[in-house]
Structure 1
Amino acid sequence: MPLDLTELRELLTALNQTDISELTLKADDFELTVRRGSRVEMTSIAPVAVPQPSIAPPPEPIKSEAPSPAPIVDRKLAEVVSPIVGTFYRSPSPDELPFVDIGNRIQKGQVVCIIEAMKVMNEIEAEVSGEIVEILVQNGQPVEYGQPLMRVNPA
């Protein structure tokens, strides 16, 4: 039973919303034990290939003679990236307005979102002033270290 990174994230997110304090998942080639308040422990019975996240730049668009749309990533835009692994939240609490929306002007050092990691709410600040042009992550979605969260058109 192969378990990929997305499935593992979904499992951990689901467990986080329950009162379960320990879960053990066993298969022929691995055993995974998750305990609330401790590290994830994985014992491999046989070699297991774990895909590593790629941080390579996006491929260049293919040039053709017909007009093509602009590339998705605009080189002049700055990205707000996640400094940690956790859960992305756009507002300080579910009943409050988001820190920022698309089109908002922000200042360097302004809180733009929260990343929850191990029940600690970490405020993420903008590293540049400018205008929010894109929010790349959905509220409550798990994020990885270095994952782009927002794109800002610097002022």
Structure 2
Amino acid sequence: MDLRKLKTLIDLVSESNVSELEITEADGKVRIVKSAPVTTVMAMAPAAVAPAVQPAASPVAAAAPAPAPAAAPTGHVVTSPMVGTFYRASSPGAKPLADVGQQVKEGQSVCIIEAMKIMNEIEADLAGTIGKVLVENGQAVEYGQPLFIIE
């Protein structure tokens, strides 16, 4: 099988809801399996390695990062309802739909998530002020990932 064709198939499986694809041709057979837990473990692996190295160097250094999660911003968290690419504006160069300090109403669009070439407007599920934007423009997001904090 052609390497370009194989890469295209892998990309299609990774961008879709298909979890497994098997193709048989005259010159061979290919089976592509997408496993979400492996992706999650791979994403967490670098973070898990760093703390393991730091305590060996200095026990005091291990105590310093612990307060950071406890000091998380308070407020309502708007999470991603899907996997896709996060965009702050409706088009490149346009004004962001929601910015820090901006008042938003319940049901107001705060960002766009592109999934499978479809632009999905994400709405605020609570009225308030945008306290923090937790995702960079153009960044890939996962289901349930925090996007904004509304105070």
Alignment of 1:120 onto 2:118: yes
| Superposition deviation, residue 22 in structure 1 | 4.2
SS in 2 for 1:103: coil
Q: Deviations over 1:47-101 (max 9, x none)?
A: xx815469xxxxxxxxx9xxx77933244x0011000000000000002100011
TM-score by length of 2: 0.61
Q: Deviations over 1:105-136 (max 9, x none)?
A: 11000000000001100000000000101000
Q: Which residue of 2 aligns with 1:50?
A: 38
Unmatched runs of 5 consecutive residues or more in structure 2? 22-31, 44-62
Name the CA shift for 1:143/1:69 in 2 (closer, same or farther; >3 Å): closer
Q: Which residue of 1 aligns with 2:12?
A: 35
Task: Pick the aligned partner of 1:103 from 76, 80, 101.
Answer: 101
Does the 8 Å contact 1:81/1:146 carry over to 2? yes
Q: Which residue of 2 aligns with 1:9?
A: none
Alignment of 1:24 onto 2:28: no
Unmatched runs of 5 consecutive residues or more in structure 1? 1-20, 26-31, 55-63
Whole-angstrom CA distance in 2 between matches of 1:107 and 1:136? 19
Alignment of 1:73 onto 2:65: no
Name the CA shift for 1:103/1:51 in 2 (closer, same or farther; >3 Å): same
Name the CA shift for 1:43/1:133 in 2 (closer, same or farther; >3 Å): closer
TM-score by length of 1: 0.59
Q: Which residue of 1 aligns with 2:49?
A: none
Overall identity of the aligned pairs, in % = 44
Does the 8 Å contact 1:23/1:35 carry over to 2? no
Q: Which residue of 2 aligns with 1:129?
A: 127
> CA RMSD for the aligned pairs?
3.3
Does the 8 Å contact 1:22/1:35 carry over to 2? no
| Superposition deviation, residue 35 in structure 1 | 3.4
